[in-house]
Amino acid sequence: MARSIRLAMPLFILVALIVGGRAAANHYGWELNSESLENFQNWIGSLGWMGPAAFLLLVISRLFIGLSSHIVLILGGLAFGAVGGTFWGGLGLTLSGCVHYFLASYLGSDWVSEQLGGRREYWERLIDKGGVPALFIINVHPLGPQSLMTLAAGAVRFDFGKFLAVMVVGAPIRASVYAVTGGTILTLSVGQILLMTLAIILFTVVPLFLPRTRRWLLRDS
């Protein structure tokens, strides 16, 4: 149960930030609407290739600068819209996964242990035994610990062809949830945001509290 709560915590923090930001915007009279979002996206577009390149670099380096992928992917939706955020976010997650995989393979178990906070054996066992299904579910689930998964896959030298296929298919699905959120967040009311959050919780968080799901995915038993 405690692990399920930890997995869901980023979503609750994110909702608090969004609702708090909207409340502050209303209080101080900031213009957060579809027009301001369009102006921001036009400015990003005026940067040419530098905009996507900077975003990809941010996604790839997020593990090393302490940024949550949830926040970064929502920024992608804000900057590029739902479709562009899905594409660039999915590409960034795939590239970052490959970087983590090869770093873990090259630097070895000691470095991986530092990154995984002492839970290296647990994640390596999960990837080694769960195989492609475990990789895919963790990768595609909006709250799945993707960075830990990619590091563990590299540490056990999981078949790279299968790993890459999972990333290419799953990363855009994961990115799309946050890209759509970022691409529409400024046009929604606080009530609509809370309703959307409730729907996300029902489909992504609630299954984590089911004993059978936890036993299969989190290995509680």
Q: How many CB atoms lie within 10 A of CB 217?
A: 22
Residues 163, 61, 3: CA angle, nearest 5 degrees: 65
Q: Where are the alpha helices (DSSP H) in the chain?
A: 2-28, 34-46, 50-65, 69-107, 109-115, 120-140, 146-155, 160-184, 190-200, 211-213
Residue 206 inside a domain? The answer is: no
Domains of the chain: total = 1
Residue 174 covered by a domain:
yes
Cβ neighbours around 71 below 10 Å, total: 16
In a domain, 2, yes or no: no
Inside any domain, residue 173:
yes
Would you say residue 152 lies in a domain? yes
* Cα separation, 181 vs 195, whole angstroms: 12
3 located within any domain: no
pLDDT at 48: 80
- Asked whether the beta carbons of 156 and 128 are under 8 A apart, the reply is yes
**Whose CA is closest to 92, among 176, 162, 186, 183?**
176
Do 2 and 214 meet the contact criterion of CB atoms below 8 Å apart? no
Over the chain (221 residues), the average pLDDT of each successive run of 10 is 49 54 51 56 75 86 76 82 88 92 80 67 74 82 78 84 91 87 66 63 58 52 34
Residue 13: per-residue pLDDT: 53
For 76-128, what is each residue's pLDDT tens digit? 888 888 888 899 999 999 999 999 898 888 877 677 766 666 666 777 777 77
Whole-angstrom Cα distance, residue 83 to residue 77? 8
* Structural domain boundaries enclosing 96: 31-187
Give the pLDDT of residue 1.
Answer: 46
Task: Enter the DSSP assignment of 118.
Answer: T
Residue 98, pLDDT score:
93
Looking at residue 144, what DSSP letter applies? S
pLDDT at 30: 47
Verdict on whether the full-model pTM lies above 0.85: no
Look at the block and give the residue holding tokens 């490959």: 98
Task: Report whether 123 contacts 218 (CB < 8 A).
Answer: no
pLDDT number for residue 220: 38
- Provide φ and ψ at 142, rounded to 5°: -60, -25
Asked whether residue 63 is assigned to any structural domain, the reply reads yes
Say if 10 falls within a structural domain. no
CA–CA gap between residue 140 and residue 115 (Å, rounded): 21
The pair of structure tokens assigned to 125 is 């066992």
Amino acid at 76: G
Closest CA to 78 of 18, 7, 130, 136: 18
By the 8 A CB rule, do 178 and 89 touch?
Answer: yes
